[in-house]
Structure 1
Amino acid sequence: MKTYAVFSALLAVCLCSCGDSRHHTQNTTQQQESRSTASHDSLRYPQEHHLCNVRQLTFGGNNAEAYFSFDGQKIVFQSDYAAWGVNCDQIFYFDLQQGNMKAHMPRRISNNLGRTTCSYFLPGDSLIVFASTFEADSACPPPPPRLKGKYVWPVYDSYDIYVADLQGNIVKKLTNTPGYDAEATVSPRGDKIVFTSMRSGDLELWVMDIDGSNPKQITHEPGYDGGAFFSPDGSKIVFRASRPKTEAEMKEYKELLAQGLVQPTEMEIFVCDADGSNLQQVTHLGKANWAPFFHPSGKKIIFSSNHAYPQSFRFNLYMINLDGSGLEQITYDSVFDAFPMFSPDGKKLIFSSNRNNQGTRDTNLFIADWVENN
């Protein structure tokens, strides 16, 4: 489940000195102009010292939740790009060795019926797990209206989790319970899937075996729990959560949930062991902190947040230690950066951004070399 607020780089060797801002002395207007040419590393803001050789992968529509295969050579993601023949979010697969999706169109994995979300490779990289509403209705479900000016996410009760091969053939259905089942991701160990489900009456995290058997609820507090990922060694899980505190907040949460909606404007990052034990809150920043993913070390978390800005639509990537210390800003786009994921070898970072969208609302995918030290 995602939110979109709303670059053109060639795949080339990084010619800048990564982490060195001496090559970036333009003012903001000049930076935006240079991004339109997309030469060298112009898609990187001067403060983005952890990024080098930033390349744009998609060039239109809303593209998000791009996740690496186990071998780090492929990605799977969701897109509503009309030029690819879809009417709402569908799942696509792309081999990174092809360069970018201006030169090579990705392969659609989902069946172009209903709406899809949250795809992830299974071990072996020949199967993909994702959620879809297609069995309930072949049409795209309508987007939710704003309620009294409030931004909300839909949690369609028709979502179930499926497995498909790289040719788009659905080979298995993993969930078959009433209510929302989605947001599935896979442990690096290749043995477990974590997902969000309404089956117990609230939006909680569940873990199941890789074949869909032995589902177990691992979170139990009122509020939305979702967007979960395993640590590199599979021992821990990081996720975003809302925690209504007052009676009025709880009442509003339950009323929205009864309509199949959640309001994602107040969320924090949490970590627990893979069985749900040792739960701890990592961030206490206020506003919306979400899209977390473990740093390759397993000791830090990268995530998206709007906590630092008065404009609720401005999101950047941050990194923080598991104990909540050492907060560091990673990206500096003026609108939206989110959905970060490290490659399995820790050398690449893929994320979604509004940078270089030529003034449109397009959200595109970008990939960068990760620079560990400033």
Structure 2
Amino acid sequence: MKQHNFTAYALSGLLMPWIFFSAASVNASDFITDEQQLSVKEKRAGEAYYRADSKWMIYQAEVTDDNPFYQIFLKNIDSGAVTQVSPGSGKTTCAWVHPAQEKVLFSSTHDDAQAKAKMNEEIERRKAGEQKSYAWDYDEYYDIYETDFDGKNMRNLTNTLGYDAEASWSPDGKLIAFASNRRAYSGELSEEEQAFFKANPASMIDIYIMNADGSNVKRLTHTKSYDGGPFFSPDGKRIVWRRFSDNGREAEIFTMNIDGSDQKQITRLNAMSWAPFYHPSGKYIIFATNLHGHRNFELYIVDVDGLKEPVRVTDKDGFDGLPVFTPDGNYITWTSDRTPGKKGLLFHGKWNHQKALESLSLK
């Protein structure tokens, strides 16, 4: 997913015994009310995003037994009608809706010659009851595709060996920010970097930006660690993302200008803090962190400059992550495993923007 790439490797470490500052906390009910579960029929679902007019929601879900991997679905908010826009074969992730046009963006491996074989292999593994730790797959055949609302006129925008995913359009639809480890497949890594990548497949992933047609690709971050999950600010001038530590055990929230300048660290929690997303007001960022326990991810908010203490907004054991606000800023949708089967599904609730401002001492 665009945001959920907290690998088993990343989760394997212990939290640091101290943090730079403590995180403030208030009751979750102060922020989110009228909570409801959106997804019902899916086996698992998550990472929902809205078009600028709030008329469409795109998300990923596993629905049928014949494909064990996520596919991409587009939902008409008024009618409730759902359309699958991905091809149905291979793996898919990281969807987005164009702010004005009837186009969607997502990553897929359906052009991999082994796509169906990999699907069948996973199906047989599940039938055999084989258990394995969760680990995100940085498949080198992931490319970023654009398609119409009906899944037609599909176009490969990256067409480069390596993991190209976690993409989103800018608010004006002219740019796309994404994450990629294409350098690892281009022959430009040093011997030291090659060894590091072999030991840690989540490394060498950087943030890139390109024109909406796939041209003029520019690398924005330059680290050996994993920089990913980029989203544009509401005014389109900055990008928020999360940067993993070199050992993959921690991540912090960062922002930068869209040309890669003024890279600023926003959180200093020394935990796994990731999945950042701007509130439409542009005044604060919501993110997920396991500050309260190795596998207990909660939602927090922090001001865009990182000058205030982050404030906790959920308080349920388990996983709460991948938060996104509706374009008017009045509602929040996120992924949670607060279900009987402990499978990740979509939840939705009314968001108290005024309380968020007060809790961060913002005007």
Whether the TM-score (by the shorter chain) exceeds 0.5 is yes
Which one-letter code corresponds to 2:51 in the other structure?
A: S
Matched, 1:194 2:177: yes
Kept in 2, the 8 Å contact 1:69–1:125? The answer is no
* Separation of aligned partners in 2, 1:232 and 1:349: 16
Deviation at 1:332?
1.4
2:100/2:173 contact within 8 Å kept = no
Whether contact under 8 Å (1:191, 1:210) holds in the other structure is yes
The equivalent of 2:74 in structure 1 is: 93
Does the 8 Å contact 1:352/1:363 carry over to 2? Answer: yes
| AA at the equivalent of 1:138 | A
Q: Are positions 1:176 and 2:159 aligned together?
A: yes
Partner in structure 2 of residue 51 of structure 1: 32
Report the equivalent of 1:135: 111
| Residue 125 of structure 1: how far off its partner (Å) | 4.2
Residue 293, structure 1, aligned to residue 266, structure 2:
no
Q: Distance between the aligned counterparts of 2:47 and 2:136, measured in 1? A: 16
Aligned twin of 1:212: 214
Cα distance in 1 between the residues matched to 2:217 and 2:5: 28
Kindly indicate whether the alpha-carbon contact (under 8 Å) linking 1:228 and 1:240 is maintained by their aligned counterparts in 2: yes
Match of 2:349 in 1: 368
Report deviation, 1:274. 1.0
SS at match of 2:235: coil
1:262-282 per-position Cα deviation (integer Å, ceiling 9, x unaligned): x5x421111111111000111
2: distance between equivalents of 1:320 and 1:128?
A: 29
2:44 is matched with 62
1:306 positional shift: 0.5
**Runs (5+) with no aligned partner, structure 2:** 8-25, 126-131, 185-203, 356-363
Separation in structure 1 between the aligned mates of residue 69 and residue 343 of structure 2, nearest angstrom: 14
Matched residue count: 303
- Counterpart CA distance in 2 for 1:178 and 1:327 is 38
Listed one character per residue, the Cα deviations across residues 109-145 of structure 1 (whole Å, up to 9, x for unaligned) are 101110000000113241101000010133246679x
Shift of 1:213: 1.1
**Secondary structure of residue in 2 paired with 1:98:** coil
When residues 115 and 155 of structure 1 are mapped into structure 2, their CA distance, relative to the original with a 3 A threshold, is same
TM-score (norm 2): 0.78
- CA–CA distance in structure 2, aligned partners of residues 219 and 66 of structure 1: 26
- Which residue is 1:41 aligned to? none
Cα drift, residue 81 of structure 1: 2.6
Residue 260 (structure 2) pairs with residue 283 (structure 1) = no
Contact kept? 1:70, 1:125, Cα under 8 Å: no
Q: Give the Å deviation of 1:55.
A: 2.2
Equivalent residue for 1:80, pick from 40, 50, 62 = 62
Aligned partner of residue 78 in structure 2, secondary structure = helix
Q: CA 1:180/1:351 → structure 2, altered by over 3 Å: closer, same or farther?
A: same
How much has 1:47 moved relative to structure 2?
2.9
Structure 1 residue 176, shift from structure 2 partner: 1.2
Q: Secondary structure, in 3 states, of the residue corresponding to 1:154?
A: coil
Which residue is equivalent to 1:236? 238
2:59 and 2:349 map into 1 onto residues whose CA distance is 17
> C-alpha separation between the residues in 2 aligned to 1:150 and 1:90?
21
Structure 1: gaps of 5 or more residues: 6-44, 250-262
Judge conservation of contact 1:333–1:354 (CA < 8 Å) in 2: no
Which residue number corresponds to residue 332 of structure 2? 349
- Contact 1:120 1:128 (8 Å CA) reproduced: yes
Please tell me the residue identity of whatever aligns with 1:64.
Answer: G
The correspondence for 2:299, drawn from 313, 317, 320, is 317
Q: Summarize the Cα distance change of 1:123–1:47 in structure 2 as closer, same or farther, 3 Å threshold.
A: closer
Q: Which residue of 2 aligns with 1:120?
A: 96
1:48-78: CA deviation from partner (whole Å, max 9, x where unpaired): 2111222221024221110001211211011
Q: Distance in 2 between matches of 1:183 and 1:299?
A: 23
Contact 1:339/1:352 (8 A) holds in 2: yes
Structure 2 CA distance for aligned equivalents of residues 213 and 3 of structure 1: 26
- Identity percentage of aligned residues: 36
CA contact (8 A) 1:4 1:62 kept: no
User: Partner letter of residue 67 of structure 1?
Assistant: Y
2:275 and 2:222 map into 1 onto residues whose CA distance is 20
CA drift at 1:294: 0.7
**TM-score, normalised relative to structure 1:** 0.76
